[in-house]
Amino acid sequence: MAMTKINEILAKERFTKDDIVFLLNTEGDDRKTLLAAANAVKIKVLGNNAYYRGLLEFSNICAKNCFYCGIRRDNKKVERYFVPEAEVLNAVEYAYHAKYASLVIQGGERSDKQFVSQITDLLKKIGKLTNHEMGITLSFGEQSNETYEEWKSVGANRYLIRIETSVRDLYYKLHPEDKQHDYSKRLQALAELKALNYQTGTGVMIGLPFQRVEDLAEDLMFFHDFDVDMVGMGPYIEHEDTPLFQYRNELWPKSTRFDMSLKMIAILRIMMPDINIAASTAMQTLDKLGREKALKVGANVLMPNITPVKYREGYLLYEDKPCLDEDAAECKSCLEARVHLAGDRVAYGEQGNSLHYYRRINQIP
């Protein structure tokens, strides 16, 4: 019996760009075959473990002006905040006792001295409070090599910086073309983080204005060729107080953006079986069961929000962000039920470091 095209592609050692475009365009039975194949790879290589990272949205103060983002510098409607140290430590203590075992601390991009040392001090205190037992991911955009080094020396061991799109021309349709938003600097930041032995994560938005399916195929090849340890990607969602909002009528429907995101996760899981892939909050925004659907097709990381509720309204990167009024405990029980629905278990107490990272640096986990 002749092999169908989908099975022929899935049997390959390495996908070509055309293969990836074909997979991204699958519908019906072919789509189901793809998603099931991805789940099988995940279960075989990583088991059915879902790892938690308590997500702290530390501050919405940002020096940059990305055209898609609700907290960009020029959005004067946003009231700016940072979470004071005592409240951060409270939230961390909660996560620690709830056995999340990892944290993600994220915020707007600032590189002034005061900010850099504020984060350094915070990391020291978090280490003390948690007996240095938690995995710590930072996500504060582009920083100097010295800053990355300093933060690593006080306990950060992972860093997330999305390339947003791997296609240079598209990058400049999403960002001002100036020194502060330089595509090559973004790439350099990723390379430096890797060289400093951070577990290095990146990602893209899916369904951006001007983005084509071919561009998404390029993104997946970029993750593979750059040999990243972790990926967090999800649908682009418009925000009315941003420049890209003017293109809202030219976007793929939200259901298409969501489905493309699922297929992106599935294909990536097959291409890079041992990396960590997050089920992003943006997926849940577009589909109530978005995160569990992501787990079912290859994602293995979830980020329950531990930001104190009163700051959540301030961190609206896009419209309709979920869980604005759920405190950390409510978030926890709601998520756990969702993980079980997807057939996974929550790996409480385990850091869930990227297996790919250990292989890359030649260490046994």
Nearer to ligand SF4, 44 or 179 (CB): 179
Nearer to ligand SF4, 186 or 293 (CB): 186
Contact status: 219 vs ligand SAH (CB under 6 A): no
Sign for the CA dihedral angle at 271, 47, 29, 3 comes to positive
- In the window 102-161, what residues touch ligand SF4 (CB under 6 A)? 108-109, 141
Burial class (CB in 10 A: 0-12, 13-18, 19+), 65: middle
Contact status: 236 vs ligand SAH (CB under 6 A): yes
Nearer to ligand SF4, 266 or 303 (CB): 303
- 276 pairs with which residues across the strands? 230
Contact status: 205 vs ligand SAH (CB under 6 A): yes
Nearer to ligand SAH, 37 or 220 (CB): 220
Ramachandran region, residue 362 (left: φ > 0; alpha: ψ -120 to 50; beta: rest): left
Question: How far, rounded to the nearest angstrom, does the alpha carbon of residue 154 sit from its chain's CA centroid?
Answer: 23
Nearer to ligand SF4, 203 or 298 (CB): 203
Nearer to ligand SAH, 138 or 297 (CB): 138
Nearer to ligand SAH, 69 or 267 (CB): 69
SS3 197: coil
Given candidates 51, 58, 318, 357, which one binds ligand SAH under the rule CB under 6 A? 318
DSSP category for residue 79: P
Contact status: 51 vs ligand SAH (CB under 6 A): no
Nearer to ligand SF4, 203 or 352 (CB): 203
The rounded distance, in Å, linking the Cα atoms of 203 and 214 is 16
Contact status: 71 vs ligand SF4 (CB under 6 A): yes
Span interacting with ligand SF4, options 46-54, 66-74, 151-159, 301-309, rule CB under 6 A: 66-74
Contact status: 321 vs ligand SF4 (CB under 6 A): no
User: Using N-to-C axis directions, what is the helix angle for 17-24 and 254-271, rounded to 10°?
Assistant: 140
- 233 pairs with which residues across the strands? 279
Contact status: 163 vs ligand SF4 (CB under 6 A): no
Q: Which residues, at least 6 apart from 232, have a Cβ–Cβ distance to it below 8 Å?
A: 160, 162, 201, 203, 277, 278, 280, 301
Span interacting with ligand SAH, options 165-173, 231-239, 263-271, 292-300, rule CB under 6 A: 231-239
Given candidates 26, 59, 60, 106, which one binds ligand SAH under the rule CB under 6 A? 106
Site string for ligand SAH, 256-295 (x = CB under 6 A): --------------------------x-------------
Q: Which residues, at least 6 apart from 72, have a Cβ–Cβ distance to it below 8 Å?
A: 62, 64, 65, 66, 242
Span interacting with ligand SAH, options 23-31, 86-94, 110-118, 156-164, rule CB under 6 A: 156-164
User: Could you tell me the smallest distance in angstroms from the CB atom of residue 239 to ligand SF4?
Assistant: 10
First to last CA, the chain: 43
Residue 205 interacting entry, from ligand SF4, ligand SAH, none, C-beta within 5 to 8 Å by type: ligand SAH
Residue 258 interacting entry, from ligand SF4, ligand SAH, none, C-beta within 5 to 8 Å by type: none
* Residue indicated by tokens 């470091």: 353
140 with 119: CB under 8 angstroms?
yes
Of the candidates 67, 147, 85, which has an alpha carbon nearest to the alpha carbon of residue 110?
147
Q: Which residues, at least 6 apart from 155, have a Cβ–Cβ distance to it below 8 Å?
A: 123, 124, 126, 127, 132, 136
Binding stretches for ligand SF4 (CB under 6 A): 62, 64, 66, 69, 71-72, 108-109, 141
